[in-house]
Structure 1
Amino acid sequence: MILVGAVVAGCGPQAGPPAASPTTTAASASPAPSATSSPIETASPAPAATTRGSLKTFTTADGQLAFDLPATWSVRDPAGELPEGGGAFAEVTNEAGRPMATLRTNMATGSTCLEKYPYAVLESQELPALAQDGETPRFIYETRGNAATPGPADTPAAAYGIVSVPAPTGDLACPMFHFFTWPPTAAMFGAFYNPENNRTPGAGSLPYLEQARRYMDTTEYQNIRRMITSLRPAG
């Protein structure tokens, strides 16, 4: 394990990029196939999403957070055992029942960066509605590794979610750690990119990272980004 971490509030996911609940396919995504080489990318604020269909608003069972999602998608809440002291644990699935993202709160996390990898930030957007103590988290869709230097062996190489950690500098970055500061401790809302769940039409024969990049052009990804970036305090 390159990123040594702990999630001690209940049955949290392993340290690293967020995944769907421990019982879903997104949470147990297989290591990514070989990735194509790409230069480091610096993402600009995300443009307005090209989405379609009506929206509905979901409020977590604890009444603390809300977000908008396509009317045809579903939310299971709670999606698993809650940590001691409560919190949110909601899994979002699309109209076909495939997991798109998981939202969890009241998570205690820690990590140690023992090795760094080539990285690319495919998209990034600040989320002022979630700011805490002057710190503004941001939505991010990013990758680790390339054809010459694979990412960590025990996690997929692309993920989307919300982060509070500073953006990497230079050519290398620590493994992905998609958590953000939220009372009483930390939270997550996102998932690994998994071609079995995140369908990219016409890209099935391409290397994993190229599939992940092309996924950005799909309506499904735009709906995911719109959903995650709509996260806000309820009420």
Structure 2
Amino acid sequence: MVDSKRHDGHGLSMHDESMERSYRPEIDGNMLGVDSADVERKRKMWRLRIIVLVALAAAVLAAGVLVASNLGSQGQAQSGSPLQTPAATTAPATITATPTASATAPATTVATAEPGASTTATPDLRWTSFVSASAHAQFDLPMGWTATDVPAGTASNPASGIQVKDEAGRVLAKFYHGAGGGVGGACGPGTYKQTELDKAATSLTGQWVTTSQARFSFRVLDQTAQGGGIGYQIGLVDKSSGEVRDSCLMYSFVAGAPKGTLSFATSDAQAPGSRTFSTMAEATQYMQTPEYQKLKRMITSLQLTQ
């Protein structure tokens, strides 16, 4: 068997030699009449050209393989990039941790609510609670005011009494609870217009409170036409004594209390020398004063302990 890759003495393989023979007729034809040495020289140049062309073809082929290899590597790198995206799945771990951290907020919220609770529990130092063992009564007393048990009633009509004074020593309210006689008084030639400027519920409890319809009331009698000014009473009334109607007198008491009649007011009946306002506007404005606000809280806070 003939070796197809056998080389002749010029370093060409049989394949290269066949290529040479394919072109040799042309070369030989062109070389007729030319010196044999010159023909040999041209043959060598032709062979050299073939060798160069083969080398160039091999170089181009190698370059193509290299480019293809590089493109394949880049394609793998690019196709590998999406495979690295799962590393971003570590973000959900951070997101999952965030709610855990925010879960401490309610604890903070509860903690901030505690000062509010302690503030609510802190007693109002502007007020004290007055308790009378003899009168079996208690009520809120503003700072600077004094409450004192005082004699009330008679041996045949026992009762309990308390007197409340302001910082200046003026008697602002009286408490009375016990047996009592009827009410009355002398009226003038006519009646006066009565108006209730304010009312509120009380802290008193019991069926008798509901039955009597006891309430806090601020009422006035307009006596200006007769030169008497605006008379007023601030205290506890019931459905009878607190009826708002034109009259010459006003009363502030509650009938049907456990020990009889109960009164806690600036005065229990209209009397000469009682304090008055000059005008209705002055009476209305009085409700905005600290003195009135203190009187209202004190009277409405009354509770009977027996």
Q: In structure 2, do the counterparts of structure 1 residues 186 and 104 end up closer, same or farther at CA, with 3 Å as the change threshold?
A: same
Question: Which residue is equivalent to 2:222?
Answer: 145
How far apart are residue 101 of structure 1 and its match?
Answer: 0.5
Deviation digits for residues 83-119 of structure 1 (CA, Å, limit 9, x no counterpart): 3254321111112212110101114142469764311
Q: TM-score, normalised by structure 1?
A: 0.60
Measured on the aligned residues, the alpha-carbon RMSD in Å equals: 3.5
Q: In structure 2, do the counterparts of structure 1 residues 83 and 61 end up closer, same or farther at CA, with 3 Å as the change threshold?
A: farther
- 1:88 counterpart = 2:141: no
For residues 186-201 of structure 1, the aligned pairs below 5 Å read: 186-192=261-267
Which shifted more, 69-78 or 221-230?
Answer: 69-78
Question: Which residue is equivalent to 2:238?
Answer: 164
Q: In structure 2, do the counterparts of structure 1 residues 174 and 184 end up closer, same or farther at CA, with 3 Å as the change threshold?
A: farther
Q: In structure 2, do the counterparts of structure 1 residues 108 and 130 end up closer, same or farther at CA, with 3 Å as the change threshold?
A: farther
Query: Are the aligned partners of 2:152 and 2:160 in contact in 1 as well (CA < 8 Å)?
Result: no
Q: In structure 2, do the counterparts of structure 1 residues 131 and 146 end up closer, same or farther at CA, with 3 Å as the change threshold?
A: farther
Query: Are the aligned partners of 1:109 and 1:186 in contact in 2 as well (CA < 8 Å)?
Result: no
User: Which protein has the bigger strand share?
Assistant: 1
Q: Which has the higher contact order (CA 8 A, sep 6+)?
A: 1
The aligned amino acid for 1:227 is M
Percent identity (aligned): 24
- 1 CA distance for matches of 2:175 and 2:135? 13
SS at match of 1:165: coil
The aligned amino acid for 2:291 is E
Q: In structure 2, do the counterparts of structure 1 residues 146 and 174 end up closer, same or farther at CA, with 3 Å as the change threshold?
A: closer
Question: Which residue is equivalent to 1:97?
Answer: 169
Q: Which runs of 5+ in 1 are unaligned?
A: 1-51, 199-203
Q: TM-score, normalised by structure 2?
A: 0.48
- 1:227 counterpart = 2:304: no
Question: Which residue is equivalent to 1:117?
Answer: 192
- 1 CA distance for matches of 2:203 and 2:147? 24
How far apart are residue 144 of structure 1 and its match?
Answer: 1.1
Q: Which runs of 5+ in 2 are unaligned?
A: 1-123
How far apart are residue 184 of structure 1 and its match?
Answer: 1.9
Which of residues 147, 165, 171 in structure 2 aligns to 1:75?
147
- 2 CA distance for matches of 1:161 and 1:109? 19
Q: In structure 2, do the counterparts of structure 1 residues 138 and 149 end up closer, same or farther at CA, with 3 Å as the change threshold?
A: farther
Query: Are the aligned partners of 1:103 and 1:190 in contact in 2 as well (CA < 8 Å)?
Result: yes
- 1 CA distance for matches of 2:266 and 2:233? 6
How far apart are residue 225 of structure 1 and its match?
Answer: 0.5
How far apart are residue 224 of structure 1 and its match?
Answer: 0.7
User: Which protein has the bigger helix share?
Assistant: 2
Q: In structure 2, do the counterparts of structure 1 residues 92 and 219 end up closer, same or farther at CA, with 3 Å as the change threshold?
A: same
Q: In structure 2, do the counterparts of structure 1 residues 60 and 172 end up closer, same or farther at CA, with 3 Å as the change threshold?
A: same
Structure having the higher Rg: 2
